Structure 1
Amino acid sequence: MAALQHQQHADVETPATEKPTEGGASGGGGGGGGGVESQDGSANTHHVSGATTPTIVADNDPVRGFNAQTNYLPRRNIIIVFLALAIVILTVLMDQTTLAVSAPIIGSDLNAGSRTSFISDSYFITATAFQLIYGRVSDFTGRKPLLLLLLAIFFIGSLGSSLSPEIISLVVFRAFTGIAGGGVITVSQIIISDVVSLRERGKYQGVLGAVVLVGNGLGPIVGAVLAQKATWRDQYRIMLPLSAVAGAIAWRFLPLKKVEGDWKRKVRAIDWTGAALSLVATLLVVLGLSWVGAYTWVSTHVLVPLCIGVVVAAVFVLWQWKGCTEDRPPLMPLSMYKNSIVVGASITQTINGWILYSQLFYLPQFYQLAYAYTPIPAAALTIPLLCIQAFSSTVSGFIVSRTGRYREVLLAGWIFWAVGLGLISTLNETSGKGKQIGFAILTGAGSGATLQVGLVALQGAVPRKQMAVVTATRNFQRNLGGALGLAIGASIISTTAKHDLKPLGWTSAMIKSALDNPAQISSSASANRIDPARIEQLRRAYVRGFHILFDLFAALAAVAFFATLFLLRHKSVDRDDDKQLKEDAKAAIRQAKEKDKGTSDPPASAAVRAKDT
């Protein structure tokens, strides 16, 4: 590992005997070329004893002076980095999804009542609201320091959640944890884009997508087991050693490429006004959407935050357009939306988040309400879907790396997903496990193929200096799509249930209680909670709402297919400087090894091509 550690600095430090060239500029941006280029695009290097050594200079352009973090690694080092990131992501994702089936138990223990939904809403709100900030901040601070800070926040939030004596403190600590949860995944994806070429990124992002799906699948099961067999506090306690181990692994094994420049200039270079506007806008919009399940769309609780949030969002867009400067670049450069691939990817990734989050939430609930399964079997029935998703994500990533083509993979994925969702919408209380699992497998094949390949297409559409920003923007759009999907899903289910059940004597409170806590109609609890006749009425009403919801999902998947077909034209995943960057990575390793042995003076690596491609 000593060689890896030395490589982290080999191509970013200026030799002590040399001074930076006047007027030089470092190349690339968030994931920049790793070297330097002058204003005319030529490589800016120093000659020492006949060899050339790249130098990073923090000039007056913050984007180019602080964030040249491309750091291609040899395969053996990539595997170490990848495994470290996989452990980090798995930890965070398990924390995100443990609440899926344990929320009613927590609400009952803390006497939270209708406030139970705030536990998950608070996490999701902050995880979404901070997304746009992670990319640009990581450009100026470096990826590794930001990731370690986020893991520390995650640890503190988990500790506070495990000790919370009542619902308000739990909601606050979950919101605090969400700040870290959303950022860890985004920064990890950015690190992958820093250390491997775009073509090879397909397979690594694909496997990373599989890790994401495994985490999403393990979380509900772990949460259900701990909540039913031990205590719900254990689902947060278990995150303490996991996050500590993840942090130690990240500190030891992740490559660190120092970001040069004065910290005061770095602070001034961050668009704090844009950050504040995006935070306020997202908080209000997601908060309004999260209240749709408890209130109607025209209620004050929903309309006021939504309307104010939309206005603030418009101000944010105006600020990104007119208020930012070269010294203080925007969090979300609007210029990238001139590219049809970015527009198409934004549409499809928003739809991806909409369907995927809703699918993970409503399928277990459907199994509980339609088939009277208890939480653990209901969560376990999602395993086939998640396994196929993971397999599909991995295979599609390898296909992209092998062929260099992503468009066909995305088109096939959206077709499979649309057909699978349409078939799931035909399930009812009499459908056997064969159909339940078979339709889920088809759905998983489609969703897995669109998860990470879409990110590769998006990253390939922008220059390196926008890599981190576009990755954070994509995750923001997916989270926002997820919030919208969950809100509309809750509205459809609730409206359908009220329409069908109120004529049968059900009150709004009875309907809400049954939908919020589907476990109460399982075979073990039905005798004490709801009489069999009413259970059958609820089941039929819910199944009808479920059909409408998944028909909508299938239609959205079809929209994403056509957006891919007409907007996501194929662009090569090979960049002009990939070969040189790989050679420089090998040279840096050889230099580090020779330096460790002390057998000879370290040879200078070739100049890194930083020109945006």
Structure 2
Amino acid sequence: MSGRTTPDDETSPLLGGQRTESHRAPAANGDTPAADHKKGDGVHLVWILAALWSGVFLGALDGTIVATLLSPIGAYFNRSNQSSYIGTAYLLSVCCFTPLYGRLSDILGRKGAMLLALSLFGSGTLLCGVAPSMDVLIAARAIAGMGGGGVMTVASIAVTDLVPLKKRGLYQGMANILFGAGAGLGGPLGGWLNDKFGWRSAFLFQASNVQPRSWPLIRNRLQVPILALSMALVLTKVNIPLPEEVRSLTIHTKLKRIDFLGSLTLVLTVGSLLLGLSLKSTEELPWSHPLIWGLISSSGIWAVIFAIVEIKVAAYPVMPIRLIKQRTPLAVSLANFFSSTAAYSMIYNVPLYFSAVRLNSSTDAGLHLLPHSIFLSCGSVFAGWLMRRTGKLYTLTLVSMSLAIVASVYVSLWNFNTSEFHLWLDLIPHGFGIASMITSTLIAMIANVAREDIAVATGITYLFRTTGQVLGVSLSGALLQAILTKQLRKRITGPEALEIIERIRHSTTIIPDLPTPLRVAAVTSYADALKAVFICQVACHTLALLCCLPIQENPLPATMEEQERLYRDRQMQQNQNSPQNESDTP
């Protein structure tokens, strides 16, 4: 199937008839964000990007800081078995609330939606620093996640308002570099703060009576300035006007445009599914457990209710089904889902391979991801540069996804005889290809929808991406533990076998100190289990490549004027094809 088709084809649904929302006509005198705002003009644009990307940097920094604190937090509350819920609660919240910001940014404006996201993120992080118990801390991370996903989504939407599509990928690459810098600094910074001042200092809050006096110093010098600076910059610099039709509405009318019922059913659909899979992985419950199948079944029921609400009830649906029916949005969403599932499985399980199979230290295991992380940024910038230079993305997308497949095949072939050369370099094509593919598919999504659908379409893209990330971690963990347990029980027998097996499953640090027969059994079992996980990653990447094939390649405008003309032409075409216009035709 060729990816080079005309823009007109995109207005026809892939899965049958569609219900068309009323489209906003272009306001007179170019009264649109593109016409009203200073697009891409020097210092003005720099300030806006600083406002948007400072939040992105802070979100990435926070994520890896918290990842380094799971063990000390679990030990502090004497509930280490629940420390994984700190990360799970955040990711679940991000998945559930990310798509809501697409519609909110159209109702509250980019500034309002970004301030809401930063406020929720900051409030949740503040509560983490003063949490008196593990339960409160987990709830606080969920609140932070409500804002964390919005920071990324709204920043992406706002940059799309400011930059023509032909240059959009390059700016996305620069944002990914900043995200990577935050993620890279978070781990070392979190470890240093924990060692120096205790885990609470990493959340950087006001000290209580039992906290060291130096905490306020850290707070004043680090987190509060970053968060306050980000909010101040958003408040003063991000002034991207909405169309006059939306600006003239009353608050009550704007609130009526929020799809509360659709949002609720979407949260219940995604939340039930991810919570069930997360509990299966973290609590090691069987699939037959009432809690697991109950949550997954309820997710299916809520999904049906959500679809009915979006098709029949919501006037302004949070996830317009008509978009998902269209060829390119559907292809992009599925490609992002499968690629993110495989990518996050890779990121979480490759270090485990070096710890449990190669018996490297945690530091050495983490270092093997360094080339991958570096080329993640390189791939995104390269994709942006190439799209800016050529105005094309279809071939780039397919080649990028093919690189990820090649890398995942190499990883699946790792064994005890694999050379250090391959162990260090096989992940490079994966990082480069995934970053390039995610950047190009985001531009493909934006280039194939009407202007009024850009915010919602961006939210949908991030929803499928983040859902894939959580599923990649949860499902790979469940598969790993199932195969590992089976192999260990086959290889380790005797009166204390069950106790030894449980110790090996829960901690790889004991493996080097085991007697030789047990050590060989543990290493071989982990190798078998991880090989199965890596093969599944190849399958997911292959599915992502197949999903990329139907993506259409539309022209990428080089200026905002060209982009506005393209959007107006597409809107006129959609209005002509709408059922109302057809019924008016004699």
TM-score tier by shorter-chain length is 0.7 to 0.9
- Structure 2, gaps ≥5 residues long: 1-21, 205-221, 573-586
Distance 1:217 1:43, change over 3 A: closer
Q: TM-score, normalised by structure 1?
A: 0.79
Structure 2 partner of 1:19: none
Structure 1 residue 321 corresponds to structure 2 residue 288: no
Q: Which residue identity does 2:303 align to in structure 1?
A: A
- The within-5 A match list for 1:403-422 is 403-422=390-409
Deviation per residue, 1:392-422 (Å, 9 max, x gap): 1101111111111111111111110001111
Q: Which residue of 1 aligns with 2:337?
A: 350
Aligned counterparts of 2:85 and 2:507: Cα–Cα separation in 1:
15
Identity among equivalent pairs (%)? 22
Q: Which of residues 564, 569, 572 is equivalent to 2:552?
A: 569
1:281 paired with 2:269, answer yes
Give the direction of change, closer, same or farther, for the CA distance of 1:82–1:128 in structure 2 (3 Å limit). Answer: same
1:612 to 561, 571, 581: 571
In the alignment, what sits opposite 2:217? Answer: none
1:227–1:187 CA distance, 2 compared to 1 (3 A): same
CA contact (8 A) 2:444 2:552 kept: no
Residue 612 of structure 1 aligns with an amino acid whose one-letter code is: Q
Residue 291 (structure 2) pairs with residue 301 (structure 1): yes
Q: Secondary structure in 1 aligned to 2:155?
A: helix
SS in 2 for 1:452: helix
Residue 235 of structure 1 is matched in structure 2 by: 202
Partners of 2:560 and 2:225 lie apart in 1 by: 41
The answer to whether 1:73 aligns with 2:48 is no
Cα distance in structure 2, aligned partners of 1:456 and 1:580: 13
Matches of 1:575 and 1:155, distance apart in 2: 37
Query: What does residue 266 of structure 1 align with?
Result: 254
What is the CA distance between 1:611 and its match in structure 2?
6.9
Q: Is the contact between residue 167 and residue 558 of structure 2 (CA under 8 Å) also seen in structure 1?
A: no
Structure 1 distance, partners of 2:225, 2:355, is 32
In structure 1, what is the equivalent of residue 115 of structure 2? Answer: 148
Distance (Å, rounded) in 1 between the aligned partners of 2:363 and 2:23:
62
Taking a change above 3 Å as real, the CA distance of residues 322 and 495 of structure 1, as seen in their structure-2 partners, is same
Cα deviation code 1:99-154 (max 9, x no counterpart)? 44542332223211322221111111111111221110110001112212221221
Contact 1:370–1:428 (CA under 8 A) maintained in structure 2: no
Which residue type is aligned with residue 147 of structure 2? A
Aligned to 2:476: 489
Question: Residues of 2 paired with 1:289 and 1:394: CA distance?
Answer: 34
Which is helix-richer, 1 or 2?
2
- 1:517 to partner: Cα distance: 4.2
- Give unpaired runs (5+ residues) of structure 1: 1-38, 46-52, 57-66, 583-607
Contact 2:557 2:563 in 1 (8 A): no
CA separation of 1:55 and 1:439: change in aligned 2, threshold 3 A: closer
What is the CA-CA distance between 1:277 and the residue it aligns to? 1.0
Q: Return the alpha-carbon distance in structure 2 between the equivalents of residues 87 and 432 of structure 1.
A: 41
Contact 1:214 1:386 in 2 (8 A): no
For residues 610 and 151 of structure 1, the distance between their equivalents in structure 2, rounded to whole angstroms, comes to 36
Cα distance in structure 2, aligned partners of 1:407 and 1:435: 30
Give the direction of change, closer, same or farther, for the CA distance of 1:44–1:170 in structure 2 (3 Å limit).
Answer: closer
Structure 1 residues 140, 377: closer, same or farther in 2, change over 3 A?
same
Mapped partners of 1:349, 1:564: distance in 2: 9
Aligned pair partner of 2:452 in 459, 465, 487? 465
Task: Indicate the residue corresponding to 2:165 in structure 1.
Answer: 198
Question: Which aligned pairs between 1:428-577 and structure 2 lie closer than 5 A?
Answer: 428=415, 431-503=418-490, 504-505=492-493, 511=501, 514-518=504-508, 520-521=509-510, 527=513, 533-565=517-549, 567-574=550-557
Matched AA of 2:39: L
Whole-angstrom distance in 2 between the partners of 1:253 and 1:93: 22
Cα distance change of structure 1 residues 576 and 164 upon mapping to structure 2, 3 Å threshold: closer
RMSD over equivalenced CA pairs, Å: 2.8
Cα distance in structure 2, aligned partners of 1:317 and 1:278 = 9
* Cα deviation, residue 234, structure 1: 3.4
Report the CA distance shift for 1:412/1:324 in structure 2 as closer, same or farther (over 3 A).
Answer: same
| 3-state SS, counterpart of residue 233 of structure 1 | helix
| Cα distance in 2, alignment partners of residues 212 and 220 from structure 1 | 13
Match of residue 8 from structure 1: none
TM-superposition CA deviations, 1:539-594 (whole Å, max 9, x none): 221222111111111122122222212x1131222299734869xxxxxxxxxxxx
Contact 2:405 2:542 in 1 (8 A): yes
Greater shift in the superposed pair: 345-354 or 255-264? 255-264
How is 1:35-184 mapped onto 2 (pairs within 5 angstroms)?
Answer: 44-45=27-28, 53-54=29-30, 71=37, 73-76=39-42, 77-184=44-151
- Number of positions where the alignment pairs a residue of Structure 1 with one of Structure 2: 523
| Cα distance between partner residues in 2 of 1:580 and 1:568 | 20
In structure 2, do the counterparts of structure 1 residues 196 and 115 end up closer, same or farther at CA, with 3 Å as the change threshold?
A: same
How far residue 167 of structure 1 moved from its aligned partner, in angstroms, is: 1.3
| Offset at residue 377 of structure 1 (A) | 3.6
Q: Answer yes or no: is 1:360 the counterpart of 2:330.
A: no
Distance 1:213 1:508, change over 3 A: farther
Alpha-carbon shift at residue 436 of structure 1 (Å): 2.0
Conserved 8 A contact 1:206-1:394: yes
Alpha-carbon separation, structure 1, partners of 2:150 and 2:292: 27
Residue aligned with 2:160, SS: helix
Contact 1:214 1:387 in 2 (8 A): no
Does the Cα contact within 8 Å between 1:104 and 1:516 map onto a contact in 2? Answer: no
Contact 2:368 2:424 in 1 (8 A): yes
